[in-house]
C-alpha cells in the first residue's frame, strides 16, 4: 500500500501516535520526534498537533506548511471549525462540548464519559485516510498540500443517530443500551454476567419469544414493534427474568442458533480468551495471557487484512490515474457501494466527498433507513446525512437481469465496498473468484462484525453487540454498570478503518492485480479498547459543562461549526455534516443529497443520470 512512504510523527496528541501506528500497518516507514524543523521536508508526510505545541514550534509548523515541500497533517481540537480557536482541548472536553457525552448513559442517570479517547481515535483514522488521499495527489500530480483534522468535527460526525431528532426539534435523550426504534434490544443480566440481545425483525421477535416460553410475552402490549417500544420497561423485565436463568455462554449459544444478534459483555482483559479475537489475533491474545495489557498491546491487533482478490487473477488493464484538482483527491475513481445503515454508507459518503464517483446499490424498495423518522419529503435525515454525493440505483439481486446489470457496473469500477452478512454476495454469485473474472483489478472491501475468518460464521452482529464483545462497553460505565457508547461507535470505527484501507490502496502505484480487503468491526473496536486500557493518561480536570445536543442544535455558532447545506435533485435544501478534515489545495466537500434510487432499463444498457 504505502510502502516506502516516509512519515514523521511529532505531537502531544494521542491521535498523532495512533496515526503513526495506523499508517505503519499500511506499510509506511515511521519516525518519531519531539519537535519538527525546517529540515523535515525530507519526509513525505509530517504529522503534528499544533495546538499542543510551544510558540516556537507553532512558528516552525507554519513555515513548513507554507514551504510546500512536504505534506503536513495538523490534528487539533477545533481545526478550522472555529476561526481563531486554538485551545488544546482534551478528548473529554470535546466529548462534553460536542454533545457526544450527552448521548451516552442511561435515561435515569447523567451523561457518561466514553471509556476510550474516541475523538482522538476517530481523528487518527480520518487523518490517516486523508494522508493517503494526499499521497495519491502527490504521486499523480506532484503536488504537496496541508491537511487539517479536528477532534470536534469527528465528534459531531459521529452523532448521525441523534442529529435527526435534534434537527426536527424532537427531544434527544440517553437510551442506555436500548435502541430508539427496536425492542427487545438491551443488555440483560445472566446467571454469571451480561448478554446483549438485539432484535430488528418480527421473525427474530417470534423466535426469542418462543425460546423464552414466557406466557406474558404473548400479551397485546408486545404484539407489534411500536407497542414493544412503548412498553419496553415491562418487556425488558420479562426478558431478563428469562436470561437470568442461563449462563452467558448458554444464552449466547441459543441466540446464535436462532439467528439473533447477541453476545456477552467482554472485559478488555477477557479479550484474550474471547474465541473470535483469539482466533484472529493469536499473537496479541498470547501476549495478553502471558502478562498485563501494556502500551504496546494494541499494536499487535490488525485493523484490516489485505490479500489477492483471487488466486487465479488474470492480467488486466492498469487502474485509472486521473486527477482533476477541482474534483478532489479521488477524482477518476469509481466506487460501487452495497450497504445500508452506517458502516458501508459512511465509507461511500467520504469517498464521494473526496471526489470519487460512488454508485449506491439499493433494494427495489430502497434502503430501509430512507423511511425512518424524522425527515422531510419522504426521506429521513439519517439517510441524507449518511449518503451524500452518491448516485443511487435500485436492483433486485435475486433476479438475473439485475445481477447482470451489477456486473456491468463492476466491470469498470475501481472499488466495491459492502457490509452485507458474510457469504451474502457469494450466494448471489459474486464470490471473489467471480469478481476477479468480472474485473481483475477491482479492490473489494468487505465489512462485517466478526470477519471472514471467524469463530462465529452464523452469528449476525449489530453495533451494540460489537461494542459488548470488544471491550468498549466494559470501559464505558455508569455507576459501575456497562453501557454502550451512545454513538454507533463500532459501526463508525469499522467504516473509518475501511475508508483508510481503501484510500491507501488507491494511493499505491497502479496495479493490475485486484485486492480483497477484510474489515472486522470487532478488530477495530478491540484495537481501540486495548489502546485505552494500555495507555491510560490522567484525565485533565475540565470545567466545560456537558452540552445538551438539543440545545446545541439551536446555537448559531455550533451550526456554523458543524453543519452545511446540501441540495437534492429537486432543489430542496438539507442540513448535512461538514467534513472533519480539510485539504489546502484539492477539493473535498459535501454537496448533494440523493433522490429516490433510479431503476435502470434492463438489460443494462441505460446510463445512470449524473448527480
| 430 close to 442: Cβ distance less than 8 angstroms | no
3-state secondary structure 349-407: HHHHHCCCEEEEEECCCCCHHHHCCCEECCEEHHHHHHCCCCEEEECCCCCHHHHHHHH
Q: Above 50 in pLDDT, residue 611?
A: no
**% residues pLDDT > 70 (the chain):** 94
What does the pLDDT read at residue 541?
43
Quote the cell numbers at residue 454: 471467524
State the pLDDT confidence band at 610, using cuts at 50, 70 and 90. Answer: very low
Closest CA to 99 of 401, 600, 546: 546
**Bigger pLDDT: 81 vs 514:** 514
User: Would you say the CATH fold of 303-465+482-543+565-583 matches that of 6-157?
Assistant: yes
Q: Mean pLDDT score of the chain, rounded to an integer?
A: 92
For the chain, which residues make up each domain, given as ranges? 6-157, 185-260, 303-465+482-543+565-583
- How far is it, in rounded angstroms, from Cα 356 to Cα 502? 12
| Residue range 226-255: mean pLDDT, rounded | 96
- How far is it, in rounded angstroms, from Cα 179 to Cα 191? 24
The answer to whether domain 303-465+482-543+565-583 has CATH 3.40.50.10540 is yes
Q: Above 70 in pLDDT, residue 539?
A: no
| 357 close to 401: Cβ distance less than 8 angstroms | no
Q: Above 70 in pLDDT, residue 266?
A: yes
State the pLDDT confidence band at 319, using cuts at 50, 70 and 90. Answer: low
In this structure, the chain runs to a length of: 611
CATH for 6-157, among 3.40.50.2000, 3.40.50.970, 3.40.50.10540, 3.30.300.30? 3.40.50.10540
Instruction: Classify burial at 38, counting beta carbons within 10 Å of its beta carbon; exposed 0-12, middle 13-18, buried 19 or more.
Output: exposed
Q: Above 70 in pLDDT, residue 322?
A: no
Helix, strand, or coil (residue 568): coil
Would you name the residues annotated as active-site residues? 491
| Residue range 408-412: mean pLDDT, rounded | 97
**Bigger pLDDT: 603 vs 408:** 408
Closest CA to 133 of 592, 589, 588: 588
Other beta carbons within 10 angstroms of residue 107's beta carbon come to: 9
Which of these ranges, 104-118, 240-254, 264-278, 595-609, has the smallest mean pLDDT?
595-609
- CA atoms within 13 A of residue 63's CA, in its CB half-sphere: 12
State the pLDDT confidence band at 368, using cuts at 50, 70 and 90. Answer: confident
What does the pLDDT read at residue 508?
92
| Residue range 510-519: mean pLDDT, rounded | 88
| 436 close to 462: Cβ distance less than 8 angstroms | no
What does the pLDDT read at residue 604?
46
Helix, strand, or coil (residue 582): strand
Q: Above 60 in pLDDT, residue 593?
A: yes
pTM to 2 decimal places: 0.95
Instruction: Report pLDDT digits (tens) over 150-207.
Output: 999 999 999 999 999 999 999 898 999 998 888 999 999 999 999 999 998 899 999 9
**% residues pLDDT > 90 (the chain):** 85
Q: Which residue has the cell 464483545?
A: 469
Closest CA to 159 of 210, 119, 208: 119
Instruction: Report pLDDT digits (tens) over 382-403.
Output: 999 999 999 999 999 999 999 9
Q: Above 80 in pLDDT, residue 337?
A: yes
Instruction: Report pLDDT digits (tens) over 451-502.
Output: 999 999 988 899 999 999 999 999 999 999 999 999 999 999 999 999 999 9
| 505 close to 498: Cβ distance less than 8 angstroms | no
Q: Above 80 in pLDDT, residue 224?
A: yes
Helix, strand, or coil (residue 436): helix
| Residue range 44-65: mean pLDDT, rounded | 94
| Residue range 239-248: mean pLDDT, rounded | 97
Quote the cell numbers at residue 54: 510551544
Cis, bond preceding 494 (omega within 30 deg of 0): no
Closest CA to 115 of 398, 556, 529: 529
- How far is it, in rounded angstroms, from Cα 46 to Cα 40? 8
Q: Above 70 in pLDDT, residue 314?
A: no
CATH superfamily for domain 185-260: formyl-coa transferase, domain 3 (3.30.1540.10)
Radius of gyration of the chain (CA): 23
For residue 585, list its beta bridge partners. none
**Bigger pLDDT: 53 vs 312:** 53
What does the pLDDT read at residue 605?
46
What does the pLDDT read at residue 219?
95
Amino acid at each position: 500500500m504505502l510502502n516506502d512512504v516516509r512519515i514523521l510523527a511529532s505531537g502531544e496528541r494521542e491521535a498523532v501516535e495512533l496515526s503513526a501506528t495506523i499508517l505503519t500497518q499500511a506499510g509506511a516507514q515511521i519516525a518519531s520526534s519531539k519537535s519538527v524543523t525546517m529540515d523535515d521536508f525530507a519526509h513525505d508526510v509530517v504529522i503534528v498537533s499544533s495546538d499542543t505545541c510551544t510558540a516556537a514550534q507553532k512558528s516552525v509548523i507554519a513555515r513548513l506548511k507554507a514551504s510546500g515541500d512536504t505534506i503536513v497533517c495538523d490534528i487539533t481540537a477545533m481545526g478550522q471549525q472555529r476561526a481563531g480557536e486554538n485551545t488544546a482541548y482534551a478528548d473529554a472536553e470535546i466529548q462534553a462540548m460536542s454533545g457526544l457525552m450527552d448521548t451516552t448513559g442511561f435515561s435515569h442517570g447523567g451523561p457518561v464519559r466514553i471509556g476510550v479517547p474516541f475523538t482522538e481515535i476517530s481523528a487518527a483514522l480520518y487523518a490517516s485516510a486523508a494522508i493517503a488521499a494526499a499521497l495519491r495527489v502527490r504521486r499523480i500530480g506532484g503536488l504537496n498540500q496541508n491537511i487539517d483534522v479536528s477532534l470536534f468535527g469527528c465528534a459531531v460526525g459521529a452523532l448521525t443517530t441523534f442529529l435527526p431528532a435534534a434537527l426536527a426539534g424532537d427531544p434527544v435523550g440517553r437510551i442506555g443500551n436500548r435502541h430508539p426504534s427496536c425492542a427487545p434490544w438491551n443488555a440483560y443480566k445472566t446467571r454469571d454476567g451480561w448478554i446483549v440481545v438485539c432484535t430488528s425483525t418480527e421473525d427474530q421477535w417470534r423466535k426469542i419469544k418462543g425460546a423464552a416460553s414466557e406466557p406474558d410475552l404473548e400479551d397485546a402490549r408486545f404484539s407489534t414493534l411500536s407497542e414493544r417500544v412503548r412498553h419496553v420497561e415491562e418487556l425488558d423485565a420479562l426478558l431478563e427474568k428469562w436470561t437470568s436463568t442461563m449462563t452467558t455462554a448458554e444464552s449466547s449459544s441459543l441466540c446464535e442458533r436462532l439467528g439473533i444478534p447477541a453476545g456477552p459483555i467482554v472485559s478488555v482483559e477477557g479479550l484474550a480468551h474471547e474465541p473470535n479475537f483469539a482466533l484472529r489475533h493469536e499473537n496479541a491474545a498470547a501476549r495478553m495471557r502471558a502478562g498485563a495489557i501494556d502500551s504496546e498491546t494494541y499494536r499487535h491487533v490488525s485493523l484490516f487484512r489485505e490479500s489477492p482478490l483471487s488466486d487465479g487473477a488474470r492480467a488486466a488493464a492498469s487502474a485509472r490515474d486521473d486527477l482533476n484538482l477541482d474534483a478532489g483527491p479521488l477524482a477518476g475513481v469509481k466506487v460501487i457501494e452495497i450497504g445500508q445503515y452506517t458502516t458501508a454508507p459512511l465509507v461511500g459518503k467520504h469517498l464521494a466527498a473526496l471526489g470519487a464517483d460512488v454508485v449506491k446499490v439499493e433494494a427495489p424498495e430502497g434502503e430501509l433507513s430512507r423511511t425512518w423518522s424524522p425527515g422531510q419529503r419522504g426521506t429521513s435525515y439519517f439517510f441524507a446525512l449518511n449518503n451524500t454525493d452518491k448516485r443511487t440505483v435500485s436492483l433486485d439481486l435475486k433476479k438475473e437481469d439485475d445481477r447482470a446489470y451489477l456486473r456491468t457496473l463492476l466491470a469498470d469500477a475501481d472499488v466495491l465496498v459492502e457490509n452485507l452478512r458474510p457469504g451474502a454476495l457469494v450466494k448471489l454469485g459474486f464470490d471473489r473468484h467471480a469478481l476477479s473474472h468480472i474485473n481483475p483489478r477491482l479492490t473489494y472491501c468487505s465489512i462485517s462484525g466478526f470477519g471472514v475468518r471467524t469463530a462465529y460464521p452464523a452469528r449476525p452482529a449489530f453495533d451494540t453487540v460489537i461494542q459488548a464483545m470488544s471491550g468498549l462497553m466494559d470501559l464505558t460505565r455508569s455507576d459501575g454498570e456497562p453501557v454502550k457508547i451512545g454513538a454507533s461507535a463500532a459501526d463508525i470505527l469499522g467504516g473509518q478503518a475501511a475508508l483508510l484501507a481503501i484510500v491507501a490502496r488507491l494511493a499505491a502505484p497502479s496495479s493490475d492485480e485486484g485486492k480483497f480487503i477484510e474489515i472486522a468491526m470487532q478488530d477495530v473496536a478491540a484495537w481501540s479498547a486495548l489502546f485505552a486500557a494500555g495507555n491510560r493518561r490522567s484525565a485533565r480536570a475540565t470545567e466545560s459543562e456537558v452540552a445538551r445536543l438539543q440545545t446545541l442544535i439551536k446555537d448559531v455558532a455550533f451550526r456554523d461549526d458543524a453543519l452545511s447545506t446540501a441540495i437534492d435533485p429537486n432543489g430542496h435544501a438539507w442540513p448535512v455534516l461538514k467534513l472533519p478534515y480539510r485539504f489546502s489545495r484539492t477539493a473535498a466537500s459535501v454537496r448533494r443529497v440523493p433522490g429516490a434510487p433510479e431503476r435502470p432499463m434492463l438489460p443494462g444498457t441505460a446510463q445512470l443520470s449524473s448527480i
